[in-house]
Structure 1
Amino acid sequence: MPLKIAFAASRAPVAQTARAALLARYGDVPMPEADVIVALGGDGFMLQTLHSTQGLPAPVYGMNRGTIGFLMNEYSESGLEARLEAAEEATLNPLSMTAWDRDGREHQALAINEVSLLRAGPQAAKLRITVDGRLRMEELVCDGALVATPAGSTAYNYSAHGPVLPIGSDVLALTAVAAFRPRRWRGALLPKMAKVRFDVQEFEKRPVMAEADSRSIRFVTSVEIQSEPSVEHRILFDPGHGLEERLISEQFT
């Protein structure tokens, strides 16, 4: 029996053109009925697709019609069914973010790559860091800080000089962004199930925003982050080009 495939594409013209070509060749089914969901776009669209389909049983296979495409496979119109049959699966657990803003409102979001706090004004942020209820840093003066999963460790975390984490490792990266005090502090490796809390000091004078996979919360006063093992994202890669290989290759390019 042929695979039932659902196609999703970003708004980019090249992705829409690819979707039309694939629909003509392989047909299309509604996502709840699909065996596999094929996402056409870049990494941002892949994250969006994983979030929007997390309640569905089908895994997601991406084909790059964007820029970098770290989470995507190479695009080709031919042989798609055979590629899907042979694909290797990786399971990702996202981070859960709970943030409180200056008006006392609570915001919740999930992040597959990272949760980041970034200064939202001309002055550096001042953050107090608590891990599992224990105060670990009284004051970090910085442009921001983030907590990244292994899957997200080569994204913003890597650009901020954070470590690349092997897929399957039970650790998270806590990385500072342009730390001023302590000047040479780059961050820490934490157990996967650690609960990290950031409290924003002088939040009126030094406003901070929080982001969870591009969902932004402005004027936050506190943010709590931890892994969410109850949520699993299933993502497919061509054999020999899975996340583990990509993470290793990224460190030698």
Structure 2
Amino acid sequence: MPSARIHFTASETEDAQAACKRLIHQYGQHSSSDAEVIVALGGDGFMLETMHRFMATGLPIYGMNKGTVGFLMNNYGEENLIERVTAGKITRLHPLKMTAKDLSGKVTEALAINEVSLLRESRQTAKIRISIDGHVKVEELTCDGVLVATPAGSTAYNFSAHGPILPVNAGVLALTPISAFRPRRWRGALLPREAKIEFTIYENRKRPVSAVADAVEVRDVSVVTVEEAPDITINLLFDPEHNLEQRILDEQFIL
């Protein structure tokens, strides 16, 4: 359990930088190699950057909101920070691994904490075949795109695309079409976290598609596979009274 060795990091906003200076003055600053916990100051976008940056270290990350939405953050407060961090409840997340092959044959791998999305690049709708564990489930999806979301990312782009909100510990992924034209009545699927999803792009020169894993974009893809990376664990710390599981549950009852 973390004690007093904190590495602070903050977004580039004036408010976050000022808060970071005050906290470092009060609690000190340890290098990331010596720290027991990362404290991130910013919004959800900066929190995603921080998770990617420190993913390989396994260090727990405690976010405090100095941004706009702050869904992945705790409330900001400068007092009793050591006690709050020590009492924090750990939520363990596993990212998605995207493997994307483009028209030139180049293969790109990237990790996504929120979602992997495929999006049309031109005025032409995309035509995509969807296979799960080697079995074709949708022969031809005509759409603006399609995405695979983790539970942590299910309240983001996935929810805006009318996908389901997933409890963190549900053990499932959301497969959600984006503005599907055909089949009209298909609204997506819930998949076991062990599933391997493969997207094959039809007419990919006439109907180019890009694949995006969080901030990494690959243009003009031909085949994209997505699967969870169970060997990589991200440890987020939340105040017990408002942890991530409870926040995601509450989101389902916002009218």
Q: Does TM-score exceed 0.5, indicating one fold?
A: yes
Letter matched to residue 233 of structure 1: I
Aligned to 2:202: 201
The question of whether the paired residues in 1 share the 8 Å contact of 2:124 and 2:207 is answered with yes
Letter matched to residue 67 of structure 2: G
The Cα shift of 1:20 comes to 1.1
Aligned to 1:108: 109
Aligned to 1:153: 154
The Cα shift of 1:2 comes to 5.2
Identity across matched positions, percent: 54
Secondary structure (helix, strand or coil) at the match of 2:242 reads coil
Write the distance in 2 (CA, Å) between the matches of 1:35 and 1:22.
16
Provide the TM-score with structure 1 as the length reference.
Answer: 0.97
Aligned CA RMSD, in angstroms, stands at 1.2
The question of whether the paired residues in 1 share the 8 Å contact of 2:44 and 2:69 is answered with yes
Aligned to 1:31: 32
Letter matched to residue 182 of structure 2: R
Aligned to 1:166: 167
Secondary structure (helix, strand or coil) at the match of 1:51 reads helix
Secondary structure (helix, strand or coil) at the match of 1:29 reads coil
The question of whether the paired residues in 1 share the 8 Å contact of 2:5 and 2:35 is answered with yes
Write the distance in 2 (CA, Å) between the matches of 1:14 and 1:232.
30
Aligned to 1:49: 50
Deviations 1:51-82 (Å, cap 9, x if unpaired)?
A: 11112142000011111111111111222111
Deviations 1:107-142 (Å, cap 9, x if unpaired)?
A: 001111110101111111111101100111110011
Write the distance in 1 (CA, Å) between the matches of 2:59 and 2:137.
41
Aligned to 2:89: 88
Total equivalences in the alignment: 253
Spell out structure 1 runs of 4+ moving beyond 3 A.
Answer: none
Secondary structure (helix, strand or coil) at the match of 1:240 reads helix
Q: Give the unaligned 5+ runs of structure 2.
A: none
For residues 8-23 of structure 1, the aligned pairs below 5 Å read 8-23=9-24
Q: Give the unaligned 5+ runs of structure 1.
A: none
Write the distance in 1 (CA, Å) between the matches of 2:6 and 2:14.
21
Aligned to 2:180: 179
